[in-house]
Amino acid sequence: MKPLYDDSRLRPWRIQKMRELLPALQEMVAEMQLVPDRFEARLKRVHPENRESAVNLLQYLVLRQHDLRGIQRELAGLGLSSLGRAEAGVMESFRAVIRLINTALAAADGNAKPAEMPESDPAFLQPPCGSTRLTENTAHVLGPPQPHRNTRIMVTMPPEAAHDLALLTSLLESGMDVARINCAHDQPEDWLRMTQNLAETSRATGKNCRVMTDLAGPKIRTAEVPAEVPVLKIKPERDTLGRVTLPARIRLLPASGTAACADSGETLPALVLDDKAFNNLKPGDTLHLRDTRGARRKLLLEQTDGDGLLGLSHKTIYAAPGIRLKPGRSDQPAVLVNAVLNPDPAVVLKPGDLLEIALHPQKSASFSASPSASASTTVTAHIACSLPEAFRNALPGAPVWFDDGKIGGIIEDIAEEKVLVRIRQARPTGTKLRADKGINLPQTVIEVSALTEKDRADLPWIQHHADLVALSFVNQAEDVQHLMDVMEANAPGAKQPAIILKIETRQAFDSLPDMLLTAMQARFCGVMIARGDLAIECGFERMAEVQEEILWISEAAHVPVIWATQVLENLAKTGLPSRAEISDAAMGNRAECVMLNKGPHITAAVQSLDNILHRMEAHQTKKKALLRKLSFEDRGLA
């Protein structure tokens, strides 16, 4: 009977290819076998239960020093494993391929027995064992899986979680596995109520839920922006026919009342007057003025609930310090405006502007343009930095990003107390930069401890109440060791929360293997891909590549990964997802956990993510596609 497939013509070619590939594979195995001895000093510091995982991680890193794409193509052409899914057990994946090649070559040469291979080192995990180790570690760190899916769901707790038991119940019943408490917000008493409510609702629903606390860390932010501005536009609201529906409104304040007004959270702009001049004004007065354009305008004064007066105008006014307000009463002198206050303080930056960053907050108080001593052009805006030491190693030409990448520039000059940044990316009409917005320095080595004084103060509470502690803005192994030392000093010999390494800077990405080996001194740890800051640091175009590398390295270490930042963000905030974020959420199936941020529709987001992850697990696990039976019309296939 003729065989269904005769490969006799291809057999010599295949045998020859195997002979050519075998030495390269054996050479890589020999190189990986040296890992335990080569890194023995480092491996001694790893927790004994993690030694095999650490060896596998180091072997994977050694392997990835080579470009294996040619070998992979050849192996796939021979019907052998291309080694593209070897992360969980690198050495034994190679040995399995070599065994198959030896068997085929022995048969081709007429040998009854294939060439023998050296015994496998007990430190080398086989692929199934590596995957099992990752599954076990994930269960210890993130809790047991749901019956219908393995990927966990983490949810950032909103302030309402401190008092709304119904919200927590709905989140647990919808599929939340881990609750995240962001220690950059709220207070310890709020966190305590959240954990107590979680424990109560968990008992009531019978649902397990771990608690992860996120340390605030040394976030580099813009400092407070002065409310005083050189000019401010106020205008009335009009309907589609141009008729005024709401007059332009501006407060008039005495100089002595500006501080109290700022603390009140008032949302209207203000004109600041001398106390004596202000006291001569009263509700019902009409003030005549010429604005900065010379346009004649009137303000009708009304009483407000606070110390000031409210001025109303049916026309647009451009207000600035120095304009004169003339009361309609002839017995009253003109009043001079001393300052104009913006209720939403910000500097407006356009491409080409020169921004001065003061490295000491008290040095940044002016919004007026000023000449630069080190540049031929004029500084158009000033702002201060909350963490000036972050610029210690900055160099001219290095990029700077503000407010999650909305504004970007290049450092043009650096002095002892200031940095000049030429704005390259912003809206042509200008982008506002407010206080407390993030600053990223992707090409600057930042020598700042990841553990702040606030973090140290929060840690005793965290160690007592949390299952996981996320180390924010970690950049190097020393940061991880510092956290471990502080926790041990706080509670010697006690069981500690598992450390989650938040990878959100370029420096952290480059240091990930070193940080993992340090974290693996404890029995359990994990990794979070904080894609917001990381995308800015590494470049949006590289983000897909970077997150893949983090997934591979973490799998080689048998460490669970949390896929975070902007997952189903539109759905959580507006109730309606975008098409792109559904695909992004499906990609999260590659990680062991997916994190959702808070929002008015967070319960719907959890339900949707639960459904997406459940469906995707039938098609994909890590990098491996699963060939589930598909349902489709069979017309035309007959």
| pLDDT score for 342 | 87
- 324 with 427, same domain? no
Q: Write down which residue in 440, 469, 499 finishes a domain.
A: 440
Asked if residue 266 has pLDDT above 70, the reply is no
Asked if residue 5 has pLDDT above 80, the reply is no
Binned at pLDDT 50, 70 and 90, residue 112 comes out as low
Cα distances (Å, whole numbers) of residue 296 to 249, 284, 422: 17, 19, 38
pLDDT higher at 491 or 369: 491
* pLDDT, mean over the chain: 90
Pick from 147, 210, 246: nearest CA to 560: 210
**Residue whose entry in the numeric block shows the structure tokens 């001895």:** 37
Asked if residue 329 has pLDDT above 70, the reply is yes
Asked if residue 361 has pLDDT above 90, the reply is no
- 356 with 256, same domain? no
Mean pLDDT score, 81-98 = 93
| pLDDT score for 240 | 93
440 membership: H or E segment, kind and range: strand 439-440
Asked if residue 604 has pLDDT above 70, the reply is yes
- 205 with 261, same domain? no
CATH number, position 306:
2.40.33
| pLDDT score for 187 | 93
Asked if residue 172 has pLDDT above 90, the reply is yes
Asked if residue 263 has pLDDT above 70, the reply is no
Query: How many angstroms separate the CA atoms of 586 and 579, rounded?
Result: 11
How confident is the model over 46-69, as pLDDT tens digits?
999 999 999 999 999 999 999 999
| pLDDT score for 345 | 87
Query: How many angstroms separate the CA atoms of 491 and 498, rounded?
Result: 14
Residue 157 φ then ψ, to 5°: -75, 125
Q: Which sign, positive or negative, has the C-alpha torsion 129, 75, 29, 19?
A: positive
| pLDDT score for 367 | 43
User: What type of residue sits at position 246?
Assistant: L
Return the axis-axis angle of helices 51-63 and 90-108, rounded to nearest 10°: 60
The whole-model pTM stands at 0.85
CATH number, position 512:
3.20.20.60
How confident is the model over 511-553, as pLDDT tens digits?
999 999 999 999 999 999 999 999 999 998 999 999 999 999 9
- 186 with 99, same domain? no
Asked if residue 619 has pLDDT above 70, the reply is yes
CATH number, position 429:
2.40.33.10
* Position 291 in a domain: yes
* Position 631 in a domain: no
Mean pLDDT score, 578-604 = 96
| pLDDT score for 343 | 83
Domain containing 336 equals 228-341
* Position 2 in a domain: no
Lowest mean pLDDT among 6-20, 188-202, 606-620: 6-20
* Position 634 in a domain: no
| pLDDT score for 128 | 64
How confident is the model over 397-432, as pLDDT tens digits?
999 999 989 999 999 999 878 999 999 999 999 999
Cβ 163 vs Cβ 597: under 8 Å:
no
Asked if residue 365 has pLDDT above 50, the reply is no
User: What type of residue sits at position 116?
Assistant: E
The strand pair at 152-156 and 593-596 is best described as parallel
* Position 528 in a domain: yes
Lowest mean pLDDT among 231-245, 258-272, 447-461, 589-603: 258-272
Q: Which two tokens stand for residue 8?
A: 């006799």
Pick from 233, 376, 394: nearest CA to 317: 233
Residue 519 CB burial class (10 angstroms; 0-12, 13-18, ≥19)? buried
* Position 633 in a domain: no
- 159 with 288, same domain? no
* Position 32 in a domain: yes
| pLDDT score for 248 | 94
Paired with 22 in beta bridges are none
Cβ 180 vs Cβ 594: under 8 Å:
no
| pLDDT score for 490 | 97
Q: Write down which residue in 323, 341, 359 finishes a domain.
A: 341
252 membership: H or E segment, kind and range: strand 248-254
CA 131 to chain CA mean position, Å: 27
- 232 with 192, same domain? no
Asked if residue 3 has pLDDT above 90, the reply is no
Paired with 250 in beta bridges are 311
- 184 with 242, same domain? no
- 541 with 614, same domain? yes
For the residues of 444-499, what is the DSSP string, one character each?
S-----SS-HHHHHHHHHHHHH-SEEEETT--SHHHHHHHHHHHHHHSTTS--PEE
Binned at pLDDT 50, 70 and 90, residue 368 comes out as very low
Mean pLDDT score, 165-181 = 98
| pLDDT score for 369 | 46
| pLDDT score for 627 | 84
| The total number of structural domains that make up the chain | 4
- 268 with 413, same domain? no
| pLDDT score for 374 | 46
- 494 with 401, same domain? no
Mean pLDDT score, 297-319 = 89
Q: Write down which residue in 321, 341, 361 finishes a domain.
A: 341
- 244 with 325, same domain? yes
How confident is the model over 426-451, as pLDDT tens digits?
999 999 999 989 999 999 999 899 99
Residue 218 CB burial class (10 angstroms; 0-12, 13-18, ≥19)? buried
- 165 with 213, same domain? yes
Lowest mean pLDDT among 319-328, 330-339, 361-370: 361-370
- From the CB of residue 293, how many other CB atoms can be counted at a distance below 10 Å? 9
* Position 629 in a domain: no
